Every structure is written in C-alpha cells, then in structure tokens.
Amino acid sequence: MQAVIDFPELSPELFSISIFGMELALRWYALAYIAGILIAWRMAAGAIRRPTLWPADTPPIKPEQLEDFITWIILGVILGGRLGFVLFYQPGYYLSHPLEILMVWQGGMAFHGGLLGVVIATYIFARRHDIAILSLADLVAYTVPPGLFLGRLANFINAELWGRPSELPWAVIFPGAAAQDCPGVIAGVCARHPSQLYEAILEGLLLGGLLLWLVYRRDCFRTPGFVMGVFLAGYGISRFIVEFFRQPDVQFVSAGNPLGLAFHIGGYGLTMGQILSLPMIALGVWFALRARRNA
C-alpha cells in the first residue's frame, strides 16, 4: 500500500459532563447544525437588508418575519431529515421498531429528506404570509452551503460516512472495525477515500462560492428561481459525483452487489444517493432555465 494518512486524534465530543448520573455531551455534529443555522440566519438577514438585490427593490421577507421563518426551517430540516432517512434507507427496520423513529440522537438523517422538509416548510410559510415563493426559495438556497460544509466536516470528525477503499496518497485510515473491514485486505490496514471532505469542498465551498458570486456580482436574486435552480442542480451533481467514492449504505451491499447499488442491471447501476440526486438535477436545471426565460 502506498503512503496514506492516519486518522487524526479527534473526538466526536467537544466535552461531556455528568449530571445526576447522566452523561450529557456536546458533539461536533450538533454544533455544526447550530452554527450552520446561525450563519444562514445572518446571511439571510444581510441579504434582505439590501433591497437593491431583489426584484422591484423589495426583499421577499421582512426582517421581523425572519425569526419565525427560521423556526419553520429548523423543523423542516429535523423532521424531513429523519423521516427521509427512515423511508429512503431503512424502512423495513423502522417498520419493525417504530419507536426508534423518534430517537434522532442515535443518528440517522438524510439530506434529501431534510431538503424536502425545507421545501414544504418554505411553501407553507410563503402561502400563509403571502410571500413570493421563488424569491423566498432563492434566499433559502443561498444560505445552505455553509451548513453543508460544517456538517460534512463533522461527519469526518465522527469518522462516519467514509469512502470506498483507496490507495491514493490522501486516503485516510479511519478507525473502527467497520472501516477496517475491506475486501481483499487480509493484513495491514485499510485506507479509504475521505468522501466527507470531498462533499465539504464540492457542496460547501465551491457551490457556496458560486451562489455568492451569482447573488452579489450577477444580481441573480432579481431573477426569481434561478439561485434555487443552481443550488439544486449543483448539489445534485456534487452528490452524484461523490457517490462514486463514498462507501455504499450497508443495507444495499450483498455478495452479488458489492458496490451497494440500489438499482442495477448486470452489475451497472446507481446508488440510492445518485437516484435521489437525479430529480434534484433535473428540477434545478428546469428552474434555472425557466427563470432565465421569464427574466
């Protein structure tokens, strides 16, 4: 095996305290969610304070409405993310253990489900307050990449959602029996693609930078639906690419399907992440083209 990288000495917990015999811990993953929401809040507040960014110099939402809207978004992320994981990835297990659906602290969130939850929350909020839905969706899309970046860094720190075995110089030796269970590696250690970092770069840094440029250099908030379309297509393409390097979900892996393809014919097919990303890409391209035609 070529030179690879040992996993750094990182703990999933910032700190833990014992209260009345119970261990309470602040984990990096929870902090990533909190920081992502706070950053999104400040980004949204900054954007709506600049009327010239928006059609007719009118932001889609008033500053006093933003706090209520953030609450709706948080509920959409949590409920959608959890139910998405249950329905997309382990429906059989949770059908047999329905009470565990509520145990979000045990892990198990799906981005595509969280996105659907945010879409529903945004739609309901816009209808209730008579807000231009496409401009509000643009605002939400613009604020998402920092949270994605932080969330993927937290996945790396937690040593979870790692990639397929690799001998590339930047491959990482992740700890744990599951990470070290690599077909063909009989002795020694197994290094893997740090696919969490690939996603952090593509979904967080590159996509976030593109959206910032579109908003502040190309005035794309003035074309309702375009920023949302670019985000959907950009995330879908990024996730589709990373799925080639990401370790497949264990429930899809079998002796006859070692790549963990959710749909396959003759050994060729798509992972669940790729299947869920295709509608995002199609919708994103459609919204972006439609926005341009209506500009």
Question: The whole model's pTM is what?
Answer: 0.89
Of 222, 230, 279, nearest to 56 by C-alpha is 222
Q: What is the pLDDT of residue 1?
A: 47
Count how many Cα atoms sit within 13 Å of the Cα of residue 213 in the half-sphere of its side chain. 7
Give the DSSP letter of residue 248. P
Lowest mean pLDDT among 139-148, 158-167, 192-201: 158-167
Q: What is the pLDDT of residue 237?
A: 97
**What confidence tier does 15 reach under pLDDT thresholds 50, 70, 90?**
low
Alpha-carbon distance values, 84 to 3, 123, 233, 252, 276 (Å): 38, 18, 20, 16, 11
Query: What are the tokens at 223?
Result: 């074309």
Which residue, chain included where needed, has tokens 């690939």?
198
Query: What are the tokens at 46?
Result: 């900054």
Q: How far apart are CA 248 and CA 253, in angstroms?
A: 7
Report the chain's mean pLDDT, rounded to a whole number: 88
Q: How far apart are CA 93 and CA 206, in angstroms?
A: 36
Position 142 pLDDT exceeds 70: yes
